[in-house]
Amino acid sequence: MANVLLTGATGFVGQHVLRELVASGHSVRGLSRSAAGDAAVNALGGTPVRGALGDDAPSALADLQRAVDGCDAVFHTAADTTQWRPHNPIQTRTNVLGAELLLKAAERAGVKRFLHTSSVSAYSHLVHGVLREDVPQRGGESWVNYERTKFLAEQAVRASSVPWVVFQPSHILGPGDTRNWARLILLVDQGKLPGAPPGSGAFADVREIAKAQVRAFHEGLQGETFLLGGTHIRFVQLIGMIGERLGRPVPKRATPASLLKAVAYASDAVSRITGKMPDISPEAAVFPCHELLVDSSKAIARLGYRETPIDELLDVTIASLREAGLLRAPKR
């Protein structure tokens, strides 16, 4: 079995990858920045190692070097997904500089495999139509910093001398999510949803994403890119399904993109005064107004990837949020 370094080990995707790696018998070091992170990694069966991505201090590379030395592979799942412009410098350091430093450490350590969790955002909302692995990416042109940083991090991975595999998940749901697309569920529950976005999404199961990554590692794949999509559904339909499950009123029709974006810009203006990130920012409004179509056929054929039906995926995500005490009791 292999010695593996996993970044983002306590994050949404990372905790599931950690479980899969441990279940497969691998020895996993989980990158951690705190005592709480250490405890979380230990609880999942990993060994915590200290280090920070995006830290430009001279010691940052040395910390990462110590973390990766002796490892056969690196699973890089850590990322800053914040959608708020004041946070852009921190996000760029984490997503781009962090990837570059980790790759440099991996090269020096002679790591044999670098498995990188990217995102469909590397293609950008500027791309229309069905996403396939051969579609040209436009993330480098995007005004949305998250898209730009995911694109740049991918470019760094592809330019590295370390053999790599890139995974590009679409919108992710599943147990353990509290900060990403699960926020849509929380907004419905709290009655704070400003409207039903007019776009559509492709929702992937975090558990299947983790399984696909570990399978790719076991198969010894190199130089491959895999889109990991899921059920395609309009947001107004998805919100209706969430409202039904939570017993909350929801919009019956989609809100025009212009109105939703106006609310986002107004909320952003208020946030500059309060210093508090808004529920919806201009950047965050881009994605649900976009039509996202993802072809997962390569991952299905090569990795046994499964697109979990949206009913099942919503049920497990909501159950997880209830277990965490983040949802109110359903109305009768």
pLDDT at 329: 78
How far is the CA of 52 from the CAs of 46, 66, 207, 263, in angstroms?
17, 12, 25, 35
pLDDT at residue 287 greater than cutoff 70 = yes
* Range with lowest mean pLDDT among 208-212, 271-275, 319-323: 271-275
Through-space distance between the first and last CA atoms of the chain, rounded to whole angstroms: 51
pLDDT at 325: 95
Tell me how far apart the alpha carbons of residues 13 and 17 are, in angstroms, rounded to a whole number.
6
Q: What is the 3-state secondary structure (H, E, C) of the chain?
A: CCEEEEECCCCHHHHHHHHHHHHCCCEEEEEECCHHHHHHHHHCCCEEEECCCCCCCHHHHHHHHHHHCCCCEEEECCCCCCCCHHHHHHHHHHHHHHHHHHHHHHHHHCCCEEEEECCHHHCCCCCCCEECCCCCCCHHHCCCHHHHHHHHHHHHHHHCCCCEEEEEECEEECCCCCCCCHHHHHHHHHCCCCCECCCEEEEEEHHHHHHHHHHHHHCCCCCEEEEECCEEEEHHHHHHHHHHHHCCCCCCCECCHHHHHHHHHHHHHHHHHHCCCCCCCHHHHHHHHCECEECCHHHHHHHCCCCCCHHHHHHHHHHHHHHCCCCCCCCC
* Range with lowest mean pLDDT among 56-65, 74-83, 146-155, 224-233: 56-65
Q: What percentage of residues in the chain have a pLDDT greater than 70?
A: 98
pLDDT at 332: 58
> How do residues 71-123 score in pLDDT, each as one tens digit?
999 999 999 999 999 999 999 999 999 999 999 999 999 999 999 999 999 99
> How do residues 137-181 score in pLDDT, each as one tens digit?
999 999 999 999 999 999 999 999 999 999 999 999 999 999 889
Q: What percentage of residues in the chain have a pLDDT greater than 90?
A: 89
- Domains in the chain (CATH in brackets) are 3-173+204-230+295-307 (3.40.50.720)
Tell me how far apart the alpha carbons of residues 220 and 222 are, in angstroms, rounded to a whole number.
7
pLDDT at 55: 74
In this structure, what token pair is assigned to residue 2?
A: 């292999």
Maximum Cα interatomic distance, the chain, rounded to a whole number of Å:
60
pLDDT at residue 58 greater than cutoff 80 = no
Task: Report whether 80 contacts 70 (CB < 8 A).
Answer: no
The residue among 53 and 116 whose pLDDT is bigger is 116
Average per-residue pLDDT in the chain?
Answer: 95
pLDDT at 52: 85
Number of Cβ within a 10 Å radius of residue 274: 8
Q: pTM here? A: 0.95
